[in-house]
Amino acid sequence: MRSPKFLYYGKTDIRRMDHWLTWKDGALLIETPALKQPKLSLWPFDLQEGGEWIYQKGENLVREVDGRQEVLRKAAGVRFVRVGEDIEQVRLIGHLEFLGEEYDEVQEYLGTIVLLNGKKVTVLSGGKTWSTDRGKVTVRGKYVSVAKNGLTDVWNGEEVFTVNGEGYVVGQVSSRVVFREKNGIVREAGGGIIGFCGGDTYLLGETRGRTVIWCGGSVRLLMRDGWRELGKSASPLSCSAGENFAVIVGEETTITNIFDFSKVSGLRRVYRSAVDEKRAFLTSEDGTLGILDVSEEGGEVVNVLSQVTEGRGAKLAISGPGEVKIGNELVEVAREDGEEMVIEVEPRWLEPVVGKVTVENMFWSSINEVWIEAPPPQVEVEGVEAKVAPLGKYKYGEGNSVVFLKVHYSIPGAIGCSLIVEAMGKSQAFIAKGKGECSARLVGTLSQPSPFEVRVSLRRFEKVLTTLSKTVTPTIINKPDSQPVRSKSRWGNVEEERTVWTDGEFVWSAISRNQVDYRGVLFRRVGEYSEIIGGRVEKGIRKVLWRGREFMIVGVEDPLEEAKVEIEGSWVVVKTTNYSPIEVIHGLRSARGIKEVRVPLDPPYTEIRVRAYESGLTWERTFKTDIVLHLSIAVKDALSMFRELESYGVVSV
Q: Is 317 inside a domain boundary?
A: yes
At 259, is the pLDDT very low, low, confident or very high (cuts 50, 70, 90)? low
Residue 518 CB neighbour total at 10 angstroms:
10
CA separation for the pair 421, 454 (Å, rounded): 7
Residue 368 lies in a domain: yes
Q: Stretch 361-382: mean pLDDT, rounded? A: 93
pLDDT digits (tens, 9 = 90+) for 87-107: 999 999 888 999 999 999 999
Say if 588 falls within a structural domain. yes
Let me know whether 500 and 530 are in one domain.
no
Q: Are 508 and 542 found together in one domain?
A: no
For residue 278, tell me if it sits in a domain: no
352-365 tens-digit pLDDT: 999 999 999 999 88
**Length, in residues, of the chain:** 653
Query: Which of 495, 530, 556 is at the close of a domain?
Result: 556
- The CA distance from 16 to 81, in Å, is 18
Question: Is residue 632 predicted with pLDDT exceeding 70?
Answer: no
Spatial CB neighbours of 441, under 8 Å, sequence gap ≥ 6: 402, 403, 404, 428
How many folded domains does the chain comprise?
A: 5
Q: Does residue 544 lie within any of the structural domains?
A: yes
Would residue 252 count as lying in a domain?
Answer: no
pLDDT at residue 487 in the model: 87
Same domain, 502 and 552: no
- Partnered with residue 9 across adjacent β-strands are 290
For residue 162, the model assigns a pLDDT of 94
* Residue 120: closest CA among 141, 143, 102: 102
User: What was the pLDDT predicted at 65?
Assistant: 93
DSSP of 224-248: TTEEEEEEE-S-TTT-EE-SSEEEE
CATH code of the domain in which 613 resides: 2.60.40.3530
399 with 390: CB under 8 angstroms? no
In the three-class reduction of DSSP (H, G, I as helix; E, B as strand; rest coil), residue 635 is classed as helix
Question: For position 190, what pLDDT does the model report?
Answer: 79
pLDDT band at 642 (very low <50, low <70, confident <90, very high): low
Q: Which of 199, 198, 200, 224 is nearest to 211 (CA)?
A: 224
Q: How high is the pLDDT of residue 339?
A: 79
148 — pLDDT class (breaks 50, 70, 90): very high
Residue 170's pLDDT is: 96
On whether the CB atoms of residues 254 and 265 are closer than 8 A, the answer is yes
- Domain range for 609 is 564-634
Q: Give the per-residue pLDDT at 569.
A: 83
pLDDT class of 652 with cuts at 50, 70, 90: very low
* Segment 526-540 mean pLDDT: 90
Class of residue 117 by CB neighbours under 10 A (exposed 0-12, middle 13-18, buried 19+)? middle
Whole-number average pLDDT of the chain: 90
DSSP letter string, 100-157: TEEESEEEEETTEEEEE-SSEEEEEETTEEEEEE--EEEEETTEEEEEETTEEEEE-S
pLDDT of 645 strictly over 80: no
Are the C-beta atoms of residues 574 and 589 closer than 8 Å to each other? no
Dihedral (CA of 76, 78, 80, 86) sign: negative
* Mean pLDDT, residues 166-187 taken together: 92
Same domain flag for 574 and 544: no
Residue 615 lies in a domain: yes
> Residue 243: what pLDDT?
85
d(CA 62, CA 40): 19
Residue 86 lies in a domain: no
Based on the fold, state whether residues 408 and 437 are members of the same structural domain: yes
Are the beta carbons of 167 and 147 closer than 8 angstroms? yes
- pLDDT for 253 equals 82
Say if residue 396 is in the same domain as residue 429: yes
| pLDDT given for residue 644 in this prediction | 59
Q: pLDDT at position 653, please?
A: 44
505: confidence class by pLDDT, cuts 50, 70, 90: very high
In contact, 170 and 159? CB cutoff 8 Å: no
CA torsion sign for 478, 480, 485, 488 is: positive
- What secondary structure letter does DSSP report for 57? E
